[in-house]
């Protein structure tokens, strides 16, 4: 007995509906991330200052939604950066947000957070990178100061020339293929002294030059010389400074302590090359010379 074709169609449709219903029951339908109970709970816990619990809620949302949880990544990164002080974890979640939402209105703000987290991570590195950065800043400040002094001198010279006090001499110098003009005052020329004013006279009868007789100081008795020598005090010699290395000492903080600038650490290093093979070879109890 053959089943009518219409009955076969109905049976196929019922099977498809049943299969679709099973798939919906086994799968997870994702709603808006901000409507997630876990996301809302994380926000509430964060407002209450319960950051660890808020972090756990956001991580559960990320685990459930996968790549559909950019806002949870952002909130997680903020907790790692501001509360837990883990800048590397914060950078990961901020970059994950930018990967999922590259064109969002908050993208520029999140990129700034990435830079902030990088600076915080740099602070956790050993002292050498930070001290090198401080030394570069000192050099930049010195260059800026020299440039300001140079501009001030140029302005003073310009004002003197404008008043007619100094003539100008223009020279041309070529630097890297570029010709530059420089104005500077003329070189100093010693004034000529006439024969009437000169202490050297010419004898009218002979062509020899007659020079004035030199003035010889009268000799002093030995007792007077001895009193003169005693009256002049000899300047005291500067005592050599030394420093015994303690726990936590570095060349940079010693330079800051004795010279007021950590960028002068090389002076101490050069003075103690006989016992310092490198700038990081300080040992407790070592006696350093402070020049």
Arch. (CATH architecture) of 241-290: Roll (3.10)
Is the pLDDT at 255 greater than 80? The verdict is yes
Q: Tell me the average pLDDT across 227-246.
A: 66
The confidence score (pLDDT) of residue 229 equals 53
Mean pLDDT of 155-168: 72
Residue 245, pLDDT above cutoff 50? yes
In 124-250, alpha helices (H)? 127-162, 222-231
Beta strand residue intervals within the chain, DSSP E: 169-175, 178-184, 201-202, 209-210, 241-244, 287-290
Greater confidence (126 vs 42) lies with 42
Average pLDDT in the 91-120 region? 94
Instruction: Flag whether the pTM goes above 0.75.
Output: no
Q: How far apart are CA 106 and CA 267, in angstroms?
A: 49
Which tokens sit at 32? 């808006």
Please give the average per-residue pLDDT across 208-216, as a whole number. Answer: 55
- Tally Cβ neighbours within 10 Å of residue 276: 18
pLDDT at 180 over 60: no
Query: What's the rounded mean pLDDT across residues 248-256?
Result: 85
Under a CB-based contact definition with an 8 Å cutoff, are residues 116 and 81 in contact? yes
Identify whether the C-beta of residue 255 lies closer than 8 Å to the C-beta of residue 264: yes
Structure tokens belonging to residue 163: 């008043």
- Rounded Cα–Cα distance for residues 99 and 73 (Å): 11
The domain made up of 33-123 is a member of CATH 1.25.40.10: yes
From CA 131, how far away is CA 269, in angstroms rounded? 15
Distances (CA, A) of 19 to 5, 10, 29, 253, 272: 21, 14, 16, 73, 83
Indicate if the pLDDT at residue 92 is higher than 60: yes
Angle 280-282-284 (CA atoms, 0-180°, nearest 5)?
150
- Quick one: pLDDT at residue 31? 74
The encoded tokens of residue 136 equal 């570069």
For residue 68, count CB atoms less than 10 angstroms from its CB and return exposed for 0-12, middle for 13-18, buried for 19 or more.
middle
Domain extents in the chain: 33-123, 128-183, 241-290
Any idea which of 21-25, 38-42, 236-240, 268-272 has the lowest mean pLDDT?
21-25
For 114, residues 6+ apart whose C-beta sits below 8 A from its C-beta are 91, 94, 95, 98
Query: Quick one: tokens of 94?
Result: 């901020």
């Amino acid at each position: 007995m053959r089943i009518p074709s219409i009955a076969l169609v109905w049976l196929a449709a019922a099977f498809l509906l049943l299969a679709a219903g099973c798939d919906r029951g086994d799968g997870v339908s994702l709603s808006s991330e901000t409507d997630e109970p876990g996301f809302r709970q994380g926000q509430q816990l964060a407002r209450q200052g319960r950051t660890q619990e808020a972090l756990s809620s956001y991580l559960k949302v990320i685990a459930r939604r996968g790549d559909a949880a950019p806002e949870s990544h952002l909130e997680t990164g903020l907790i790692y950066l501001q509360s837990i002080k883990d800048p590397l974890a914060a950078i990961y979640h901020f970059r994950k947000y930018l990967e999922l939402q590259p064109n969002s209105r908050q993208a520029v703000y999140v990129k700034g957070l990435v830079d902030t987290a990088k600076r915080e991570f740099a602070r956790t590195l050993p002292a050498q990178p930070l001290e090198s950065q401080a030394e570069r800043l000192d050099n930049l400040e010195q260059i800026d100061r020299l440039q300001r002094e140079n501009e001030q001198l140029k302005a003073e010279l310009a004002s003197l020339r404008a008043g007619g006090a100094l003539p100008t001499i223009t020279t041309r110098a070529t630097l890297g293929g570029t010709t530059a003009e420089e104005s500077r005052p003329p070189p100093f020329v010693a004034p000529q002294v006439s024969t009437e004013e000169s202490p050297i006279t010419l004898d009218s009868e002979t062509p020899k030059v007659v020079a004035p007789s030199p003035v010889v100081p009268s000799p002093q008795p030995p007792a007077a010389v001895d009193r003169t020598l005693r009256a002049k005090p000899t300047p005291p010699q500067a005592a050599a400074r030394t420093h015994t290395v303690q726990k936590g000492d570095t060349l940079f903080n010693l330079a800051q302590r004795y010279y007021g600038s950590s960028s002068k650490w090389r002076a101490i290093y050069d003075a103690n090359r006989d016992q310092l093979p490198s700038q990081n070879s300080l040992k407790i109890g070592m006696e350093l010379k402070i020049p």
